Amino acid sequence: MAVATRTSVIGSGSFGTALCNVLAVNCEQVHLWGRDEKLVAAINEHHQNPTYLPNIPLAQSIWATSSLEEALEKSELVVAATPSHAMRDVIVRAVEFLPRHVPILAVAKGIENGTLLTMSEVLEDCLPEEFHPYIGVLSGPSFAKETALRMPTVVTIASRWDKLATRVQRVFHTDSFRTYTSSDVMGVQLGGSLKNVIAIAAGIADGLGFGHNARAGIITRGLAEISRIATRHGANPLTLAGLSGLGDLVLTCTGDLSRNRSVGIELGKGRTLAEILAGMKQVAEGVKTAKSARDIAARDKVELPICDQVYSILYEGKSPKNAVVELMSRQPKSELL
Protein backbone atom coordinates (compact mmCIF):
# COMPACT_ATOMS: atom_id res chain seq x y z
CA MET A 1 0.00 0.00 0.00
CA ALA A 2 1.34 3.46 -0.93
CA VAL A 3 2.51 5.62 1.96
CA ALA A 4 2.09 8.80 -0.10
CA THR A 5 0.09 9.64 -3.20
CA ARG A 6 2.49 12.13 -4.76
CA THR A 7 6.02 13.27 -3.92
CA SER A 8 8.32 15.74 -5.68
CA VAL A 9 12.07 15.76 -6.25
CA ILE A 10 13.60 19.08 -7.30
CA GLY A 11 16.81 18.35 -9.18
CA SER A 12 17.39 15.76 -11.90
CA GLY A 13 21.04 15.03 -11.15
CA SER A 14 22.26 11.60 -10.12
CA PHE A 15 21.19 11.65 -6.48
CA GLY A 16 17.82 13.29 -7.07
CA THR A 17 17.07 10.71 -9.76
CA ALA A 18 18.25 7.87 -7.52
CA LEU A 19 15.94 9.00 -4.72
CA CYS A 20 13.04 8.94 -7.18
CA ASN A 21 13.58 5.20 -7.56
CA VAL A 22 13.53 4.85 -3.75
CA LEU A 23 10.38 6.94 -3.35
CA ALA A 24 8.62 5.05 -6.12
CA VAL A 25 8.44 1.99 -3.84
CA ASN A 26 6.05 3.71 -1.41
CA CYS A 27 4.51 6.46 -3.55
CA GLU A 28 1.91 6.28 -6.30
CA GLN A 29 3.51 9.15 -8.25
CA VAL A 30 6.97 10.74 -8.12
CA HIS A 31 7.44 14.04 -9.93
CA LEU A 32 11.02 14.96 -10.91
CA TRP A 33 11.92 18.52 -11.84
CA GLY A 34 14.88 19.36 -14.07
CA ARG A 35 16.12 22.44 -15.90
CA ASP A 36 17.12 20.61 -19.09
CA GLU A 37 14.04 20.00 -21.25
CA LYS A 38 15.89 17.45 -23.41
CA LEU A 39 16.85 15.45 -20.33
CA VAL A 40 13.29 15.68 -19.00
CA ALA A 41 11.96 14.33 -22.30
CA ALA A 42 14.50 11.50 -22.32
CA ILE A 43 13.54 10.45 -18.78
CA ASN A 44 9.86 10.33 -19.70
CA GLU A 45 10.43 8.51 -22.97
CA HIS A 46 13.07 5.96 -21.96
CA HIS A 47 12.57 5.74 -18.18
CA GLN A 48 16.22 6.36 -17.42
CA ASN A 49 18.45 9.38 -16.89
CA PRO A 50 20.92 9.13 -19.81
CA THR A 51 23.12 11.99 -18.58
CA TYR A 52 23.63 11.16 -14.90
CA LEU A 53 22.52 7.53 -14.41
CA PRO A 54 22.70 5.88 -17.85
CA ASN A 55 21.35 2.36 -18.32
CA ILE A 56 19.67 2.26 -14.91
CA PRO A 57 15.91 1.67 -15.22
CA LEU A 58 13.60 4.13 -13.50
CA ALA A 59 10.21 3.20 -12.10
CA GLN A 60 7.21 3.76 -14.35
CA SER A 61 5.60 5.99 -11.71
CA ILE A 62 8.36 8.62 -12.12
CA TRP A 63 7.35 11.56 -14.29
CA ALA A 64 9.76 14.39 -15.15
CA THR A 65 8.93 18.02 -15.95
CA SER A 66 10.74 21.33 -16.43
CA SER A 67 7.86 23.20 -14.76
CA LEU A 68 8.22 23.80 -11.03
CA GLU A 69 4.49 24.39 -10.77
CA GLU A 70 3.70 21.00 -12.31
CA ALA A 71 6.37 19.23 -10.28
CA LEU A 72 5.10 20.56 -6.95
CA GLU A 73 1.35 20.35 -7.52
CA LYS A 74 -0.42 18.42 -4.72
CA SER A 75 2.89 17.07 -3.40
CA GLU A 76 2.97 15.43 0.04
CA LEU A 77 6.77 15.55 0.30
CA VAL A 78 9.30 17.82 -1.43
CA VAL A 79 12.92 16.72 -1.80
CA ALA A 80 15.34 19.55 -2.61
CA ALA A 81 18.10 17.77 -4.53
CA THR A 82 19.80 20.55 -6.50
CA PRO A 83 23.54 21.11 -5.91
CA SER A 84 24.20 23.32 -2.90
CA HIS A 85 25.32 26.32 -4.95
CA ALA A 86 22.01 26.27 -6.88
CA MET A 87 19.71 25.67 -3.91
CA ARG A 88 18.90 29.29 -3.16
CA ASP A 89 18.05 30.21 -6.75
CA VAL A 90 15.79 27.21 -7.28
CA ILE A 91 13.95 27.51 -3.97
CA VAL A 92 13.28 31.22 -4.54
CA ARG A 93 11.72 30.29 -7.88
CA ALA A 94 9.76 27.42 -6.34
CA VAL A 95 8.37 29.17 -3.26
CA GLU A 96 5.11 30.30 -4.84
CA PHE A 97 4.31 26.71 -5.82
CA LEU A 98 5.38 24.93 -2.63
CA PRO A 99 2.48 23.25 -0.82
CA ARG A 100 1.93 24.28 2.80
CA HIS A 101 2.42 21.99 5.80
CA VAL A 102 4.42 19.47 3.75
CA PRO A 103 7.94 18.21 4.61
CA ILE A 104 10.74 19.84 2.62
CA LEU A 105 13.87 17.69 2.71
CA ALA A 106 17.30 19.02 1.68
CA VAL A 107 19.69 16.34 0.44
CA ALA A 108 22.58 18.40 -1.02
CA LYS A 109 25.79 18.11 1.00
CA GLY A 110 27.33 21.54 0.95
CA ILE A 111 27.76 24.86 2.76
CA GLU A 112 26.85 28.00 0.84
CA ASN A 113 29.82 30.18 -0.06
CA GLY A 114 29.72 33.67 1.41
CA THR A 115 26.81 33.20 3.81
CA LEU A 116 28.31 30.00 5.30
CA LEU A 117 24.78 28.63 5.70
CA THR A 118 23.92 24.94 5.65
CA MET A 119 21.18 23.83 3.27
CA SER A 120 18.48 23.83 5.94
CA GLU A 121 19.52 27.38 6.83
CA VAL A 122 19.39 28.39 3.17
CA LEU A 123 15.83 27.03 3.01
CA GLU A 124 14.90 28.98 6.13
CA ASP A 125 16.47 32.10 4.65
CA CYS A 126 14.43 31.74 1.43
CA LEU A 127 11.09 30.53 2.76
CA PRO A 128 8.42 32.26 4.87
CA GLU A 129 8.46 31.32 8.55
CA GLU A 130 5.41 29.08 8.21
CA PHE A 131 7.56 26.62 6.22
CA HIS A 132 10.39 26.41 8.77
CA PRO A 133 8.97 23.67 11.04
CA TYR A 134 8.66 21.39 8.00
CA ILE A 135 12.32 21.55 6.92
CA GLY A 136 14.51 18.48 7.31
CA VAL A 137 17.65 16.92 5.82
CA LEU A 138 18.78 13.53 4.56
CA SER A 139 22.42 12.44 4.65
CA GLY A 140 24.59 9.36 4.98
CA PRO A 141 26.79 6.99 2.94
CA SER A 142 24.83 6.77 -0.30
CA PHE A 143 26.37 6.75 -3.76
CA ALA A 144 23.67 7.62 -6.26
CA LYS A 145 24.33 4.69 -8.60
CA GLU A 146 24.03 2.08 -5.85
CA THR A 147 20.97 3.81 -4.42
CA ALA A 148 19.26 3.85 -7.81
CA LEU A 149 20.01 0.15 -8.29
CA ARG A 150 18.39 -0.48 -4.90
CA MET A 151 21.52 -1.90 -3.36
CA PRO A 152 21.40 -1.88 0.47
CA THR A 153 21.83 1.71 1.67
CA VAL A 154 21.46 3.24 5.14
CA VAL A 155 20.96 6.98 5.79
CA THR A 156 19.81 9.45 8.43
CA ILE A 157 16.81 11.79 8.21
CA ALA A 158 17.10 14.75 10.58
CA SER A 159 14.57 17.32 11.70
CA ARG A 160 14.16 19.45 14.79
CA TRP A 161 10.60 18.13 14.87
CA ASP A 162 10.64 14.40 15.67
CA LYS A 163 7.21 13.81 14.16
CA LEU A 164 8.38 15.24 10.83
CA ALA A 165 11.45 13.00 10.72
CA THR A 166 9.30 9.96 11.46
CA ARG A 167 6.77 11.00 8.82
CA VAL A 168 9.48 11.28 6.16
CA GLN A 169 11.13 8.08 7.35
CA ARG A 170 8.00 6.10 6.52
CA VAL A 171 7.97 7.41 2.95
CA PHE A 172 11.63 6.55 2.27
CA HIS A 173 11.99 3.30 4.18
CA THR A 174 12.15 0.21 1.91
CA ASP A 175 13.71 -3.24 2.02
CA SER A 176 16.88 -1.82 0.43
CA PHE A 177 16.90 1.76 1.77
CA ARG A 178 17.01 1.82 5.57
CA THR A 179 16.42 5.15 7.31
CA TYR A 180 17.19 6.31 10.84
CA THR A 181 15.93 9.54 12.40
CA SER A 182 17.81 12.26 14.27
CA SER A 183 17.10 15.66 15.78
CA ASP A 184 20.71 16.82 15.22
CA VAL A 185 20.11 18.80 12.03
CA MET A 186 23.37 20.75 12.27
CA GLY A 187 25.56 17.73 13.01
CA VAL A 188 24.08 15.70 10.17
CA GLN A 189 24.67 18.53 7.70
CA LEU A 190 28.18 19.52 8.76
CA GLY A 191 29.27 15.88 8.75
CA GLY A 192 27.85 15.35 5.27
CA SER A 193 29.32 18.56 3.88
CA LEU A 194 32.82 18.68 5.34
CA LYS A 195 33.58 15.02 4.59
CA ASN A 196 33.69 16.01 0.90
CA VAL A 197 36.69 18.26 1.58
CA ILE A 198 38.44 15.47 3.46
CA ALA A 199 37.68 13.10 0.56
CA ILE A 200 39.56 15.43 -1.79
CA ALA A 201 42.53 15.18 0.58
CA ALA A 202 42.27 11.38 0.59
CA GLY A 203 42.19 11.39 -3.20
CA ILE A 204 45.25 13.62 -3.36
CA ALA A 205 47.13 11.13 -1.20
CA ASP A 206 46.05 8.31 -3.53
CA GLY A 207 47.08 10.34 -6.57
CA LEU A 208 50.50 10.91 -5.04
CA GLY A 209 50.89 7.16 -4.64
CA PHE A 210 50.72 7.06 -0.85
CA GLY A 211 49.44 3.95 0.84
CA HIS A 212 46.72 2.82 3.21
CA ASN A 213 48.49 4.34 6.22
CA ALA A 214 48.10 7.82 4.78
CA ARG A 215 44.46 7.29 3.87
CA ALA A 216 43.62 6.02 7.36
CA GLY A 217 45.38 9.00 8.88
CA ILE A 218 43.44 11.45 6.70
CA ILE A 219 40.11 9.81 7.53
CA THR A 220 40.81 9.79 11.26
CA ARG A 221 42.22 13.28 11.55
CA GLY A 222 39.61 14.52 9.08
CA LEU A 223 36.91 13.22 11.40
CA ALA A 224 38.58 15.11 14.23
CA GLU A 225 38.37 18.34 12.20
CA ILE A 226 34.72 17.76 11.30
CA SER A 227 33.87 16.99 14.92
CA ARG A 228 35.73 20.08 16.12
CA ILE A 229 33.74 22.49 13.99
CA ALA A 230 30.42 20.63 14.31
CA THR A 231 30.45 20.51 18.10
CA ARG A 232 31.33 24.21 18.13
CA HIS A 233 27.96 24.66 16.39
CA GLY A 234 26.06 22.53 18.88
CA ALA A 235 26.24 19.13 17.18
CA ASN A 236 26.09 15.92 19.21
CA PRO A 237 29.52 14.20 19.01
CA LEU A 238 27.74 10.85 18.54
CA THR A 239 26.28 12.14 15.27
CA LEU A 240 29.79 12.46 13.86
CA ALA A 241 30.46 8.82 14.76
CA GLY A 242 27.30 7.81 12.89
CA LEU A 243 26.07 7.46 9.34
CA SER A 244 26.29 11.13 8.34
CA GLY A 245 29.72 11.48 9.93
CA LEU A 246 32.10 8.53 9.95
CA GLY A 247 29.92 6.43 7.65
CA ASP A 248 29.79 8.98 4.86
CA LEU A 249 33.42 9.97 5.42
CA VAL A 250 34.70 6.41 4.95
CA LEU A 251 32.58 5.90 1.85
CA THR A 252 33.64 9.12 0.17
CA CYS A 253 37.33 8.74 1.03
CA THR A 254 37.59 5.16 -0.22
CA GLY A 255 34.90 4.53 -2.86
CA ASP A 256 35.68 4.53 -6.56
CA LEU A 257 32.34 6.24 -7.24
CA SER A 258 33.33 9.27 -5.14
CA ARG A 259 33.53 12.41 -7.27
CA ASN A 260 35.41 14.30 -4.57
CA ARG A 261 38.02 11.57 -4.17
CA SER A 262 38.36 11.47 -7.97
CA VAL A 263 39.10 15.21 -8.05
CA GLY A 264 41.76 14.68 -5.41
CA ILE A 265 43.36 11.80 -7.30
CA GLU A 266 43.74 13.93 -10.41
CA LEU A 267 45.17 16.82 -8.38
CA GLY A 268 47.68 14.43 -6.85
CA LYS A 269 48.70 13.36 -10.35
CA GLY A 270 49.48 16.97 -11.23
CA ARG A 271 46.41 18.12 -13.16
CA THR A 272 44.94 21.55 -12.51
CA LEU A 273 41.50 22.08 -11.00
CA ALA A 274 40.26 23.79 -14.17
CA GLU A 275 41.30 20.79 -16.29
CA ILE A 276 39.60 18.35 -13.92
CA LEU A 277 36.31 20.24 -13.65
CA ALA A 278 36.14 20.75 -17.41
CA GLY A 279 35.89 16.99 -17.85
CA MET A 280 33.20 16.40 -15.22
CA LYS A 281 29.45 16.24 -15.83
CA GLN A 282 28.54 16.15 -12.16
CA VAL A 283 29.31 18.42 -9.21
CA ALA A 284 32.02 17.61 -6.68
CA GLU A 285 30.57 19.49 -3.70
CA GLY A 286 33.86 19.51 -1.81
CA VAL A 287 35.43 21.97 -4.26
CA LYS A 288 33.10 24.79 -3.24
CA THR A 289 32.75 23.61 0.35
CA ALA A 290 36.52 23.95 0.79
CA LYS A 291 36.03 27.73 0.54
CA SER A 292 33.29 27.67 3.15
CA ALA A 293 35.34 25.44 5.46
CA ARG A 294 38.25 27.87 5.32
CA ASP A 295 35.98 30.82 6.07
CA ILE A 296 34.21 29.03 8.93
CA ALA A 297 37.56 28.10 10.47
CA ALA A 298 38.71 31.73 10.29
CA ARG A 299 35.43 33.09 11.65
CA ASP A 300 35.20 30.62 14.52
CA LYS A 301 38.95 30.47 15.20
CA VAL A 302 38.99 26.68 14.84
CA GLU A 303 41.95 24.76 13.42
CA LEU A 304 41.14 22.73 10.30
CA PRO A 305 44.61 21.93 8.93
CA ILE A 306 43.56 19.34 6.33
CA CYS A 307 40.73 21.52 5.03
CA ASP A 308 43.11 24.51 4.91
CA GLN A 309 45.64 22.60 2.81
CA VAL A 310 42.92 21.39 0.43
CA TYR A 311 41.81 25.00 -0.03
CA SER A 312 45.38 26.07 -0.77
CA ILE A 313 45.80 23.33 -3.37
CA LEU A 314 42.47 24.10 -5.03
CA TYR A 315 42.60 27.90 -5.06
CA GLU A 316 46.16 29.04 -4.40
CA GLY A 317 48.05 26.62 -6.59
CA LYS A 318 49.96 24.97 -3.77
CA SER A 319 51.83 21.80 -4.67
CA PRO A 320 50.14 18.73 -3.16
CA LYS A 321 53.55 17.42 -2.08
CA ASN A 322 54.31 20.67 -0.25
CA ALA A 323 50.92 20.50 1.44
CA VAL A 324 51.71 17.02 2.74
CA VAL A 325 55.09 18.16 4.05
CA GLU A 326 53.42 21.04 5.92
CA LEU A 327 50.80 18.75 7.44
CA MET A 328 53.37 16.21 8.58
CA SER A 329 55.71 18.90 9.94
CA ARG A 330 53.15 20.58 12.18
CA GLN A 331 54.06 20.99 15.85
CA PRO A 332 53.55 17.70 17.75
CA LYS A 333 50.51 17.74 20.04
CA SER A 334 48.09 15.55 21.94
CA GLU A 335 45.68 13.57 19.75
CA LEU A 336 42.69 14.76 21.77
CA LEU A 337 43.36 18.48 21.45
Which residues have a catalytic role annotated?
A: 195
Distances (CA, A) of 77 to 28, 106, 170, 234, 268: 12, 11, 11, 28, 42
Beta-ladder partners of 333? none
Contact by Cβ (8 Å): 8, 40: no
Q: What percent helix, strand, coil does the chain show, rounded to 5?
A: 55, 15, 35
* Rounded Cα–Cα distance for residues 219 and 168 (Å): 31
Closest CA to 179 of 187, 170, 188: 170
Q: Are strands 135-139 and 153-158 parallel, antiparallel or unpaired?
A: antiparallel
Beta-ladder partners of 94? none
The amino acid that residue 279 corresponds to is G
Contact by Cβ (8 Å): 98, 10: no
